[in-house]
Every structure is written in structure tokens, then in C-alpha cells.
Amino acid sequence: MVDITHKNTTLRTAVAQAIVKVSKPETIEAIQNDTVPKGNVFAMSKAAGLLGVKRTPDILPDCHPLPIEYTGVAYEINGLEITVLFTVKTIYKTGVEVEAMHGASVVALNMYDMLKPIDKGIEIHHIKLLNKKGGKSDFKNRFRTDITAAVIVCSDTISAGHKEDKAGKAIIEKLKICGVQTEAYEIIPDALEVIQNKAKQYQEQGVDLIIYTGGTGLSARDVTPEALAPLLDRRIPGIEEAIRSYGQDRTPYSMLSRSVAGTIKNTLVLALPGSTNGASESMDAIFPSVLHIFGILRGARHD
């Protein structure tokens, strides 16, 4: 199965359809009058669909087991055609498109099974996804595509040439995927004044996003939060909480990180962990959703 451990949990919705076409009006009348020998077609087929959608990962090997938190089945009759509308909702890391299509197909197949004794010409058509919502595709930055960034690695060891930087490069790669241009990349020592000067420098140059990696731990030289806090006009606790919550689901040590997020005028400043995994997972936790801030800072509405 595809690795979804890096994804965020969001509300996911999918609506699928299947069309059951009967061959004579008498079949529709039997359904509506509840005179089909095998029982109430709509009620029993709905029950079959509810059971079937829960078994989707048992039948399709690449489908992830996930909580089905809502299922809705509706029918529309148009002449000799019955349209099955199947809705599935979950709050999870991956979508429910296949589950919705599977549910619609099971409903249609059960209708076929119940109606075949009275109608030999039944056909099933147009099993397809009608729409879906949720996931990163619904939370892309809609306001700006020209966002620039500076990535600053805070590390005495790396700046002295004793170790290679990987965290900063991982951040740059994540930014590239999100369409953000990295205009500057620097490695500096864990020095409070140097950290502050870099924030002031890039903010004055008009860089939209300044990302520090390193210096957010609890050792004596970890001073990045102390350096940045006095410069920030406003802290953004939600970003900080999202980073730690995401990390805590993956390692019990994330609670020890002191990641910082805030703004200096219209520049967003982030201080992320210095480990490669910590930096990469922090980016996964908040990107690309965090880019929404650049529209809000210019007065755009959330909706």
C-alpha cells in the first residue's frame, strides 16, 4: 500500500453513482409498490451497500483500512433508470473515493440480484465518482504564487564544517514541492545576535518566509526561540501546536521541541527542529496549508 504516514488527517467526502436500468415499466412499479418477491429492493440494497463499503479494503488490496464515519444512500428514478447516489465521509489521512464507488456498485448489484426473477434485461451502467472533498488538494494556497523564502541553518557543528547539513536541504526540497522559491540558504552558528540579525535582514529585503532549523531544543546553546521571540509582532500558537502534535504522533520526543512561529510585519518566521526528520516532519505538518497566511496578511478572506 502507498505510505500515508506523512499525511494530515482531514475531513474526506466522496459521492459516487451507479445506474441500474430495467427493461420494463412493470419492474419500476413493483419496486415502488414493494411487491418484488425478494423483498423491499431499496431498503435491502441500502443495507448491502452499508455492509459492502466497510469491506472495501478486504477486497481491494491497495485500499487502506479506515473508519467509515458516515454513509448515505439515495435513489433517483428517471423512466427506466434508477440512479444510486452513494456518499461516504471519514476523518482520516486518505480519501474515500474507492469506498464510495464500491458502495454504489454493491447497491446496484444487490438490486440486480433482487430484480432478476422478474426482469431478465437489467443492466448496470456508469459507476463513477461524482465529486470528492478533503486532503491537500482542497487546501492549496489560492492567493499568491510568488512566495519567496530564506532557509537558515543554526548549528555550531555544521557552521564549523564538522557535519553536513541535511535538515536545511530537506526544507528547501519541501518548499520546492509547494512552489516556493528559496532565495537564500545560510548556515550560521547558534549565536543569539546572529540569529536576530538574519531575521531582520531578510525581513527588510522583503522575503515572505524565513525558516530556521536548529536551536529549538533544550541544550545550553539552543537559543533560536529566545532570539526570535522579541522580534515577532505576533506569535501564531496554532502553527506551533500543529508541528508538535504531528511530531508527537511519530516520536515521543517532539514534546521537548520549542518550535516557534510568528510574524514580523508581513513576513512569516518559523523556527523548526534541527534534526532532518524533525525538520521534514514539521514541514509536512503545516505545508502547504500554512501558505494561506500570505493572503490573510494582505486582507483576503478565509473563504
DSSP-assigned letters across all residues of 188-218: E-S-HHHHHHHHHHHHHTT-SEEEEES--SS
Q: Are 54 and 66 in contact (CB under 8 A)?
A: no
Dump pLDDT digits (tens) for 82-98: 999 999 999 999 999 99
pLDDT score at 145? 74
Q: pLDDT over 90 for what percent of the chain?
A: 90
pLDDT score at 136? 65
Instruction: Give residues with Cβ within 8 angstroms of 140, minimum separation 6.
Output: 288
Q: Are 119 and 24 in contact (CB under 8 A)?
A: yes
On the question of pLDDT at 139 being above 80, the answer is no
Q: What is the average pLDDT score of the chain? A: 94
Instruction: Give residues with Cβ within 8 angstroms of 93, minimum separation 6.
Output: 4, 5, 7, 8, 9, 64
Dump pLDDT digits (tens) for 11-62: 999 999 999 999 999 999 999 999 999 999 999 999 999 999 999 999 999 9
On the question of pLDDT at 3 being above 70, the answer is yes
- The catalytic residues are 113
Give me the residues paired with residue 181 across strands: 148
Q: Are 269 and 228 in contact (CB under 8 A)?
A: yes
**Between 235 and 142, the higher pLDDT residue:** 235
Q: What is the pTM of this model?
A: 0.77
